[in-house]
Amino acid sequence: MNDEPFNQTVTNYFKNDYRERGKIKWQGYFLSDHTLSLNHDSNDRHQVTKKLPRMPLDAIKIMLRRASVNYNQVIVQQDYQDTTDHMLTNVTGLVAGFS
């Protein structure tokens, strides 16, 4: 039997013989929820928002009043483009109030 202490043997093993498999080692720990979430986030980042037609202010006010009273969702798009000339992501939700 070898006279080296156990700790020395373990240390030598990790210094000289052990090969870390890196990312491959941890792939089995990803849950299906994680994978689905990562794919969803990737799709959101690569989605290009199309420019909606411009609405007159009076039509916007009427639509927001109706949505607020009837608890309907609306889609709001800012008239702003990022540095790559893509529109910002649309905001969808209920109207709590407006001015």
Q: Which residue has the tokens 């909606």?
A: 52
pLDDT digits (tens, 9 = 90+) for 26-76: 666 667 777 778 888 777 777 778 888 899 999 999 999 999 999 999 999
Three-state secondary structure call for residue 85: coil
The torsion angle over the Cα atoms of residues 36, 38, 44 and 47, rounded to 10 degrees, is -90
- Kindly report, residue by residue over 72-91, the tens digit of the pLDDT: 999 998 888 888 778 888 88
Q: Dihedrals φ, ψ of 2, to 5°?
A: -75, 140
Contact 79, 51 (CB under 8 A): no
pTM above 0.85, yes or no: no
Taking only Cα atoms into account, the Rg of the chain, rounded to an integer number of angstroms, comes to 28
